[in-house]
Amino acid sequence: MHYIPYIMFFVWLFALVVGQWAAEVARMFAKRISKARTRPLLDFYPRVALILPIKGIDADTLENLQSLLTQDYPHYRLICAMESADDPVRPLLEKLVLEQSPGRMDIVVAGLAQNRGQKIHNQLAAVALTTEQDEVLVFVDSDAHAGPTWLHALVAPLRIAQVGASTGYRFYVPECSHLANAMVSVINAGVAALLGPTRRNLAWGGSMALRRADFFSCGVHKAWQNALSDDYVLSHCIKYRSGHIIEYVPKCLLASPADFNWKNFSPSPAGSIASPESARRGSGSWRWAGLCFISLRCSIR
């Protein structure tokens, strides 16, 4: 038992480092958000196809859908893409379609994916419904509860030719006091705070936008044909194939409930952290290993 003091020392040291890091992250984050809130939105309203891959239904689904259908934006339509016609969310979507004006909301059944991730398969099926009149494609996750100006803020940076895509990010809100929730929230907030006016930004699939013309000319459509990660592949095409930048929009942070456990460092069965589509990309442990790596990589640059 002589090693217990050493273990306690390293636990204390780890907690101290994480605490200091969390304080610095909070300071940077608060400063950036306060600046973003005071920045006015410009009159830039291209026609938007808002693409939502969705699977299943939970307690927040209706509220989230309504938040997307009531955006303070004049010209947009919502396209919901699901894997199966038997999906339990279909009756709710069909009810909402009837409540909207014609052309405001569409549903597409993508079918089962074969050579790519199901989320991307759903997204491509939705893109196939768009036309040249849809000047901008916006992708959002099904667990997103968006504020009324979210869509306008996300699209606004695309008025600049050098900007190839714009992105928001998630902000985890712990649902209970479990230490795993606190750690995940701190790591995630660290990544959010490091995003900003830099060429190193990557798009986040839960809240990203780009011009429809760039989606095809930059090769995103082709690159997605055999891809698992929608946002990483899109970021690569925008940054390295076209030389454009990805602009981070702090106003487009989307709150997500955090309900994690130690077993696999992924959402517990009762949690609803990521959309069902994104959950099919891989296990929670791999996703969070990647998140830790990104956070550390950004910190040392």
pLDDT digits (tens, 9 = 90+) for 161-189: 999 999 998 877 777 777 777 777 777 76
**Coil, strand or helix at 178:** coil
Closest CA to 234 of 199, 254, 205, 200: 205
Angstrom CA distances, 159 to 88, 126, 138, 156, stand at 39, 24, 14, 6
- Smallest CA-to-CA distance from 87 within 102, 113, 109 is with 109
Rounded (5°) CA angle 232-235-241: 125
Q: What is the pLDDT of residue 281?
A: 37
Q: What is the pLDDT of residues 30-56, one digit of tens each?
A: 555 555 555 666 789 999 999 999 999
Higher pLDDT, 68 or 37: 68
Task: Between 289 and 8, name the one with better pLDDT.
Answer: 8
pLDDT at 193 over 80: no
The residues, any chain, with a CB within 8 Å of residue 112's CB and separated by 6 or more, are 83, 84, 118, 121
Query: What pLDDT does residue 13 have?
Result: 77
- The whole-number pLDDT of residue 231 equals 93
pLDDT over threshold 60, residue 268: no
In this prediction, residue 7 carries a pLDDT of 72
The model's pLDDT over 105-129, given as tens digits with 9 standing for 90+, comes to: 999 999 999 999 999 999 999 999 9
200: helix, strand or coil: coil
How far apart (Å, rounded) are the C-alpha atoms in residues 113 and 298? 33
- Interval 250-259 mean pLDDT: 79
Residue 241 — very low, low, confident or very high, per pLDDT cuts 50/70/90? Answer: confident
Predicted structure pTM score:
0.76
Percentage of residues of the chain with pLDDT beyond 90: 53
What mean pLDDT is reported for the chain? 80
Pick the more confident residue, 227 or 199.
227
Please report the domains of the chain, with CATH numbers, ordered by start residue.
46-300 (3.90.550.10)
Within 8 A by CB and 6+ apart from 216, the residues are none
Specify the DSSP class assigned to residue 254: E
Query: Which runs of E-coded beta strand occur in 3-109?
Result: 48-53, 76-82, 105-109
